[in-house]
Structure 1
């Protein structure tokens, strides 16, 4: 009997292996029909060419040569890459592109099955339960938090200016945006902006997040063997740092959840139950389906970890490039400042309200152009659930397809040959009307667009206006031109240093 069972087991395994080989060959035959940059190694693919090397020159050259779609070989693994609105739009607007690719499993230990990674019925349920957290009326309640957090940042900037020291832009903005997400999502006052620098071996939530993003990026664009979770755990020298950082982040998140549950329990016992959420964490804990079923503890933890990461990293990156652009292009800095001065002309305070944000029209143009230039999120990807046609070539089910947003936003056939020039006028209504709606996708599009996009956009406009109201920014002399690099989001290789000149208001 054991012999028969063993033979059956071997037969099943061989059948599964045969199916995997069959599907792989089918995908390879299809993707080989797409154009591909020359020089791919049979085993290393394009990896040795440094497709994601800092500066992204390979990406710029490639989109100029292949302005619609091409196949990137990540080692022996093909990744058809879409870089034009015509090839992207059908994918994002149909169920065919509704499933995130296996690359997102690199985040699995960290953020589990939150909105960013889940699919199907689970994703639809979570999206439905959480959408209310980002309603306009809810976002308005966060504005006082923005004001309070940026006031701490401005105080630090005043001190730096008095001491004649430049501002380390990414460092300071990273702390400020992390302060904001902790307070708006979890009402947690971390005081992270004023803490002393960490000593060797110490960790906080921000440093843990930075460690995890760095390691995910290295797995995604580095040695393709480490994409496999078992290969990563058994052989990668980065795994101990990853395990420590993930464990720390989960401990902090679980602590925030436990503390809030105790608070809600006490309010219930005291006869004063909370009837409407005060923040994102309340929404998670109070959310119920039509039949009264709540989110599980694991689901709540996954969403907390998802939003503490997603609500900070992209905003911090965007703001870093916004302030750099304002320093590099003083004529645009002046126009933004004049707009803010006019808005606040008759007020005793420079605190900004939610109603003010719609009046920051030129500021919005500048921010959109910065996001186009530096595309904080570069490489969303999907796993095809149905055959997908790309310029007459049918990609089969199961193919991993990437959308390179940096290349889309620098596609000369879409944005013109001046795409490397900083020009906010591109986003004036008349100019924007001439573009395909899928030419600009900072928050993706379709059913799986970013749920927190308005939260992030409000925050960037708010921070930009308040900082430029108080300071004139200029590039520190002798500093090299910042080089963008990919670490999940696009950030500078080296810290950007800006000189600060307080305004006499």
Structure 2
């Protein structure tokens, strides 16, 4: 009798939870439906039938013209409010009460665990506090010699490419260099990845695994297929075997780096040697302590290492790919950047660029910012509301998942004007940009959850770009089509971008 009563109680609790979930779903759906909706949504497939993230990103451009503030996108049968105007976006990203990442980030948890990208609440706050020291300006300054070493290898390879009169495979070479840089700077690990020959269609297993995971993550997020998104049903989908194999490889790679370093530090302590100052990102994380002396667990460190491994090279190499393209396409801007670098060096070698030189690379900064605006690498951010949010008179309820489309923000004609598709670095001159809402441009997100490693990325990009344009002239390859931006977790050219290289005579 007791067992029957217990079963009835449990069944009642489950049933009530289901009813409450259905009620909340209906309420959220009713509220969201009050927002403008782009035409063409299928009753079951929603806007996914229109391929909104398809090559060229034309659907996004068309939609932000007619819905320049906010709209509801139907990802399959699920309604997703999308914010595309700085007035609404800043309310979400600048608020500490709306800092919870949405359920969409669950897609990445097998890959990066509960690292800063996916974590929420007290766990995120603690990890963010402990990791902040890893990106202190004094620490970042020590990475400059490492960036130079990686760039030396990169430029030597480009010397051979230029001498052979063959085009440069832009993303391929950049990704190898930035991956080399993140391994050396963050983990003091020399992989020699830039000089490895192509084997079985890949240069490095870690790079290949990252490409696979990016592709699968992207497919899961935009398909609108609940079976592919939900972690309970995903193991039964066709993509799962690739996902499982490569997440295991990436996690084991990161875990190996962490455990080896922990053993080194433990050995130092046992032998009585001073640990000294942290050498790199991994040292700072392993040595970080709460006030009571508690440190991150090995798995927590593996989560952060996996996050930084991906974020530390993929976004940088993709951004630089687009920067090199616009410099090749607009030689007048390339000449200005090169002249600025020549003036800064004033007789010094490009290999002598120091941290203090970065602040003087003003025109280069304008060029990079405008490139990011045109081809921003990260497209979607999303949050789960922890309290109601009003958007143009529509109240979105607590628990609603809300997205921010940064590509549409950066191509919003009501924000950037009808010439938003044109490349104009002057937009970011202080006399122009200061007139705009600061949340009109979000290269590295903003607010409490902005990118912790953004200064690391800026330093690396400026150094690599300065040395590259100091040595070479970039040009478009005759007969090559204009690159088409394509969404694959980040925005990359649909086909491999190639550029011509001409070595400067005085080099």
Q: For this structure pair, what is the TM-score category when the shorter chain's length is used for normalisation?
A: over 0.9
Contact 1:181/1:308 (8 A) holds in 2: yes
Q: How far is 1:161 from its partner? A: 1.0
Q: Describe the superposition over 1:241-270 as per-residue Cα deviations: whole angstroms up to 9, x where unpaired.
A: 111111111111111112111211222222
Give the structure-2-normalised TM-score. 0.98
- Where do 1:31-46 residues align within 5 Å? 31-46=32-47
TM-score (ref. length: structure 1): 0.98
Q: Which residue of structure 1 lines up, in the alignment, with residue 151 of structure 2?
A: 150
Find the counterpart in structure 1 of residue 215 from structure 2: 214
- The residue number in structure 2 matching 1:9 is 10
- 1:326-341 equivalences under 5 Å are 326-341=327-342
In structure 2, what is the Cα distance between the partners aligned to 1:348 and 1:407?
A: 41
Q: CA deviation at 1:238?
A: 1.2
Alpha-carbon distance in structure 2 between the residues aligned to 1:19 and 1:57: 39
Aligned counterparts of 2:58 and 2:350: Cα–Cα separation in 1: 45
| 1:451-493 Cα distance to aligned partner (Å, 9 max, x none) | 1111111211111111000000001111111011111111111
1:233 maps to what in 2? 235
Match of 1:109 in 2: 110
Q: Tell me if structure 1 keeps the 8 A contact 2:382–2:402.
A: yes
User: CA offsets per residue over residues 143-186 of structure 1, 9 Å max, x none?
Assistant: 00111101111011111111111000000000001111111111
Which residue in the other structure is 1:436 paired with? 437
- Per-residue deviation, 1:5: 2.1
Alignment partner of 1:425 is 2:430 = no
Output the CA distance in 2 between the equivalents of 1:177 and 1:348.
22
Q: What is the SS of the residue equivalent to 2:486?
A: strand
Q: Which residue of 1 aligns with 2:31?
A: 30
Tell me the secondary structure at the aligned position of residue 97 of structure 2.
helix
Q: Does the 8 A contact of 1:177 with 1:316 survive in 2?
A: yes
Alignment of 1:169-188 (within 5 A): 169-188=170-189
Which runs of structure 2 are paired with 1:245-256 in the superposition (5 Å)? 245-256=246-257
Measured after TM superposition, the shift of residue 223 of structure 1 is: 4.2
1:205 is the counterpart of 2:206: yes
Alignment of 1:108-127 (within 5 A): 108-127=109-128
- 1:318-467 mapped onto 2 (5 Å cutoff): 318-467=319-468
Unaligned runs of 5+ in 1: none
1:58-207 superposed matches below 5 A: 58-199=59-200, 204-207=205-208
For 1:280-321, what per-residue CA distance to the aligned partner results, in whole angstroms no more than 9, with x for missing partners? Answer: 100111111000001111111111101101111110110000
Q: CA deviation at 1:93?
A: 1.6
CA contact (8 A) 2:202 2:208 kept: no
Cα displacement (A) at 1:273: 2.4
The whole-number CA distance in structure 2 between the counterparts of 1:101 and 1:312 is 24
3-state DSSP class of the match of 1:34? coil
SS in 2 for 1:380: strand
Supply the distance in 1 between the matched residues of 2:273 and 2:250 (Cα, whole angstroms). Answer: 32
Q: Secondary structure at the match of 1:95?
A: coil
Structure 2 residue runs without a partner (length 5+) = none
* Cα distance between partner residues in 2 of 1:53 and 1:264: 48
1:478 matched residue in structure 2: 479
Deviates more, 1:195-204 or 1:31-40: 195-204
Map Cα deviations across residues 52-73 of structure 1 (whole Å, 9 max, x no partner): 0011100000000000000000
CA RMSD for the aligned pairs?
1.2
SS in 1 for 2:502: strand
Query: 2:350 touches 2:466 (CA, 8 Å); kept in 1?
Result: no
Q: CA deviation at 1:200?
A: 5.6
The answer to whether the 8 A contact 2:196-2:203 is kept is: no
**Cα distance in 2 between the residues matched to 1:201 and 1:84:** 41
